[in-house]
Amino acid sequence: MMAEGARAAGASGDAGLRPPAPPYKAAADRHDEAVDATGRVRTHWERLAGWLAEAGPPVIDAIASELGRLRDESGIAFTARTVAAPGAVDPLPVVLSASDWATLERGLAQRARLAEAVIADLYGPRCTIREGLLPPGVVFGSDAFAAHAAGWEKPPERFTLVFEADVARGADGRWMILADRLDAPLGDGWLIANRIATSQAIAEPFIDCGARRIASHFARFQDLLDSLTGWEGRLALLTGGERDPRYFSHAYLARYLNATLVEPADLTVRDGAAFVKTLDGLKKVDVLLRGVPDRRIDALHRPRSAAPGAPALTVAARAGGLVMGNAIGTAAMAYRALAPYAHRLCERLLGEPLEIPDAPCLWLGDPAARAQVLEELPFWRIEPLTGGASPDAAPLLPEDPSAMTGAERDRLAVALERVGERFAAVATPPLATTPAWCANGLEPREWMMRVFASWAGESWSVAPGGVAATVEPGCPPPALGFGKDVWVLPDPGSAAKDEAASLLAARLAGGHLRRTGRELLSRVADEVFWLGRNAERAESVLRILNVCLQRYLSGNRIDADPAALTTLLSVHAREDDRAPAPARLRETLVRLIGDPDEPEGLAPTLAHLRSGAARARLSISEESWRYIDRLCADPRWRGRLDFRASGEIARLIEDALRSLAAFAGSAQENLTRNFAWRFLEMGRRIERGSQIARIVGRIAGRERENEESFLRALLTYSDSAAAYRARYMMVPTPAAVMDLLILDETNPRSLGFQLAQLEQVLSMLPSETPYRRPEHRRALALLTEVRLTEADAVAATDANGARPALGALMSRCRSELAEVSDTLARAYFAHAEAPVALMSQGRLGETP
């Protein structure tokens, strides 16, 4: 940084004594945040500039990589994937002076008031349409207008509780609005996470600058939410789920605001109110922060575009039983719908001049605008008016407008005439620059930022800060993510202090702690249950593979007999009798490990395991997730399986088993014994029990040649060889092995142990009656049956060498465990099932 004004330690003001500073040169004819037209560092940048000069490039580079690491960490902590963009991180914040911020803050609060006024009018009296302030096509020309939210006897008290905008400064330094984010904004999670990461990585100048804290803004929002929910009420945040690109922000914000994070299928509407489905039944939601776009909500009123789930939310909102932030219908004014007519709307509805103008924007429902835009291509970008993806946008968006042929232009003209109302022509003029840390040091770059506001009861509160990004000239606002932090300096004349305490800590100290976890969402119980089952299923496949590979490598004539090994593998692999034994063994091994189409193969099993763990991510511990992720993402799975290197494969399988053991241990040690743990445990026990029953039935169901070798394989599969040796010190006999693997409840790998454990966990589930629940009775009956069985009886063979008692008991165990699983699902997860649309009717002459 050009060090004029920079106060380096020990510098006496003499230019010659200043430490070497990263040089910085901004264009003279364009506003730059850090330096003025003469190249002097602006007063509010002096401290940061001084620190940069002192730190020098190596320290800045180190901070950049530290910041990248912090971002990765917070991304991984909340979602299953990395959310930070790869590549070099620019750690430099944008610093704004108190007066710059005051202008912006006033303008944003006005913008939010304007949006609320326009939306309330559109869904109510429609003066703006009647008086010609807003052309009807802006509103009714696209499906963003929610007809089912219009004309209510008692409209919502407010349509907007949150408001975000993309803003930038022009080359002259004046603010402009690039986009209004009114439909499901809730990007605040990024603001908080970004601030936390930046203030940790670059702590010294952050504290030194005295940048305003954002916590007090969220405290105001929290106060409002508390007043809306009431003392006993519930706040929920609706997200599209793990696949939603905004999921990170939703999960982060939900935790910050102590809101229940729900997906559409978690919600149901009864008696004019909305409820979340929990294990403990339906729980009323009083305030719903909406992170799912308008169009995707309420399958009852929007059957064409809504996602399954959350039907009839409009009924609850209309009955007054549910406050939504933002209400259904706000999409109608989202993105650029307000922009072309903001000036006159502001003057008419608020009686004040518009404080911050919009970046150039023309509504293409206007024939004159269409003509102008066609004339001035490629200056303009053509975008859906209310944002989002629009299916009919594709033909309107030329890759490179400057290279359009005459025929393409004509087609564009025709298309615009047909659906012009749904589009806006927008342009990003030259913007102000800010210092960016690049490969070559400090460089001036155009920048824009997302800013965040929320209703605070009587006025709008704007978070002092934002998420900024440096951009290429002329480009649209980027998708929200981590970015440059924005530091707003306090007004030196004002004594007002932002409260520094972090909201998260304050909330944890408050009275909101719940211990039972009884309110586990039905969907989450379902996910955790299947995570348990999938982990066991993966383990069973890995164990069979492990037994076979170890034997294959041992070279022992009997143990490594290809036919015997193929029999073992056939427990999980589809049988293929065509090939001769040795080739068939290799083929089966390869198929079981790598073939995605092998139903019980390792590839689909691990894929299920990982996606299930990702979904249940917030219910299991961080460490547990990492074990699963490490196991499933191991690059060695993707390599070619070469049996000349079967030792490598055996090592890979062993590593995988170790990761699964670590996952199991971590889940045991780190999960509180609440409902999530219980469902995970039941999933594990049911799956392990049925796998044992299946394998024992399959392998020991009849007497075999080399029986001893097969019995040893069973002991190795169930990790019970050492226990057997310790107990019997002799070659395996059927009755002793059956006792250890089926009946012995002290052996954690035995069937009896699984049943006893399952029964115990089932006895801890809530029951409305004094009697045991059906699935509990079933498990108890099965456990009792196994307890009353004798080892000699199951080991007994008939005249054909079969073990009928064993076969019958094992297949009963399997079918009963499957029943327990289904009954559990019906009792606890049925809520979580997604609704489907009813067939439509009313078509003339098509009475079925």
Partner 1 sequence: MIYDVTHRTVYDYVESAAFSQHLLRLTPRDTNGQRVLSSRISLDPRPDEIVLERDMFGNLAHAATVSRPHGRFEIVAISRVERQSPSAFIFEASSPWEDVRAIATGAAAGPVPDDVAPFAFPTALTTANEEIEDWARDCFAPGRPVLAAAAALSARIHAEFDYVPGATAADTLPAESFAARRGVCQDFAHVMLAALRARRLPARYVSGYLRTIPPAGQPRLAGADASHAWVAVWDPALDWVEFDPTNNMIPGEDHITLAWGRDYSDVSPVSGIVVGAGAQSLHVGVDVMPAGG
Binding-site ranges for partner 1 (CB under 8 A)? 126, 129-132, 135-137, 140-141, 143, 145, 147-148, 150-151, 153, 268-272, 299-301, 303-304, 308, 311-312, 315, 318-319, 365, 392, 414, 418-419, 421, 830, 833-848
Smallest CA-to-CA distance from 167 within 379, 375, 413, 467 is with 467
Q: How far is the CB of 143 from partner 1 (least distance, A)?
A: 6
| Cβ nearer to partner 1, comparing 61 with 819 | 819
Q: Strand 433-438 vs strand 460-462: parallel, antiparallel, or unpaired?
A: unpaired
Alpha carbon distance 389, 336 (integer Å): 14
| Cβ nearer to partner 1, comparing 164 with 298 | 298
Q: Which residue has the tokens 């609005």?
A: 177
Alpha carbon distance 820, 335 (integer Å): 51
| Cβ nearer to partner 1, comparing 403 with 838 | 838
Alpha carbon distance 450, 601 (integer Å): 47
Smallest CA-to-CA distance from 195 within 435, 495, 502 is with 502
| Cβ nearer to partner 1, comparing 419 with 756 | 419
Q: How far is the CB of 407 from partner 1 (least distance, A)?
A: 14
| Residue 278 CB burial class (10 angstroms; 0-12, 13-18, ≥19) | buried
Q: How far is the CB of 87 from partner 1 (least distance, A)?
A: 40
Alpha carbon distance 418, 413 (integer Å): 9
CB count within 10 Å of CB 140 equals: 15
Q: Which residue has the tokens 């102008």?
A: 372
Q: How far is the CB of 392 from partner 1 (least distance, A)?
A: 8
Q: How far is the CB of 326 from partner 1 (least distance, A)?
A: 19
Q: How far is the CB of 421 from partner 1 (least distance, A)?
A: 6
| Cβ nearer to partner 1, comparing 417 with 705 | 417
Q: How far is the CB of 836 from partner 1 (least distance, A)?
A: 6
Q: Please, are residues 318 and 846 in contact by the beta-carbon 8 Å criterion? A: no
Element (H, E) at 323: strand 323-325
Alpha carbon distance 24, 376 (integer Å): 36
| Cβ nearer to partner 1, comparing 264 with 465 | 264
Q: How far is the CB of 129 from partner 1 (least distance, A)?
A: 4
Q: What is the 3-state secondary structure (H, E, C) of 582-631?
A: HHHHHHHHHHHHHCCCCCCCHHHHHHHHHHHHHHCCCCCCHHHHHHHHHH
CA 444, 447, 449: angle at the middle one, nearest 5?
150
| Cβ nearer to partner 1, comparing 172 with 392 | 392
Q: Which phi and psi angles does 586 have, rounded to 5°?
A: -60, -45
Alpha carbon distance 392, 680 (integer Å): 45
Alpha carbon distance 144, 135 (integer Å): 15
| Cβ nearer to partner 1, comparing 23 with 124 | 124
| Cβ nearer to partner 1, comparing 214 with 349 | 349
Beta-carbon contacts of 706 under 8 Å, excluding residues fewer than 6 positions away, are 558, 561, 564
Q: How far is the CB of 291 from partner 1 (least distance, A)?
A: 22
Q: Please, are residues 415 and 364 in contact by the beta-carbon 8 Å criterion? A: no
Alpha carbon distance 431, 168 (integer Å): 7
CA 593, 595, 596: angle at the middle one, nearest 5?
115
| Cβ nearer to partner 1, comparing 34 with 315 | 315
Q: Please, are residues 282 and 275 in contact by the beta-carbon 8 Å criterion? A: yes
Grouping H, G, I as helix, E, B as strand and the rest as coil, residue 219 is helix
Smallest CA-to-CA distance from 359 within 422, 427, 425 is with 427
Q: How far is the CB of 417 from partner 1 (least distance, A)?
A: 9
| Cβ nearer to partner 1, comparing 233 with 835 | 835
Q: How far is the CB of 265 from partner 1 (least distance, A)?
A: 10
| Cβ nearer to partner 1, comparing 14 with 153 | 153
CB count within 10 Å of CB 651 equals: 13
Biggest alpha carbon–alpha carbon distance for the chain = 106
Beta-carbon contacts of 616 under 8 Å, excluding residues fewer than 6 positions away, are 524, 527, 528, 531
| Cβ nearer to partner 1, comparing 165 with 396 | 396
Q: How far is the CB of 368 from partner 1 (least distance, A)?
A: 10
| Cβ nearer to partner 1, comparing 136 with 604 | 136
**Which tokens in the block code for residue 102?**
């005051």
Smallest CA-to-CA distance from 562 within 585, 589, 592 is with 585
Strand partners, 648: none
Beta-carbon contacts of 270 under 8 Å, excluding residues fewer than 6 positions away, are 282
In the chain, the N- to C-terminal Cα span, in Å, equals 78
Q: How far is the CB of 313 from partner 1 (least distance, A)?
A: 11
| Cβ nearer to partner 1, comparing 145 with 423 | 145
Q: How far is CA 830 from CA 277, 281, 581, 822, in A?
A: 10, 11, 46, 10
| Cβ nearer to partner 1, comparing 526 with 598 | 526
Q: How far is the CB of 149 from partner 1 (least distance, A)?
A: 9
Q: Is the peptide bond before 326 cis (omega within 30 degrees of 0)?
A: yes
CA 548, 552, 558: angle at the middle one, nearest 5?
95
DSSP label at residue 802:
B
Q: How far is the CB of 344 from partner 1 (least distance, A)?
A: 13
| Cβ nearer to partner 1, comparing 106 with 130 | 130
Q: How far is the CB of 612 from partner 1 (least distance, A)?
A: 22
Q: How far is CA 684 from CA 576, 590, 679, 690, 848, in A?
A: 30, 27, 9, 10, 47
| Cβ nearer to partner 1, comparing 418 with 725 | 418
Q: How far is the CB of 329 from partner 1 (least distance, A)?
A: 11
Alpha carbon distance 115, 632 (integer Å): 47
Q: How far is the CB of 367 from partner 1 (least distance, A)?
A: 8
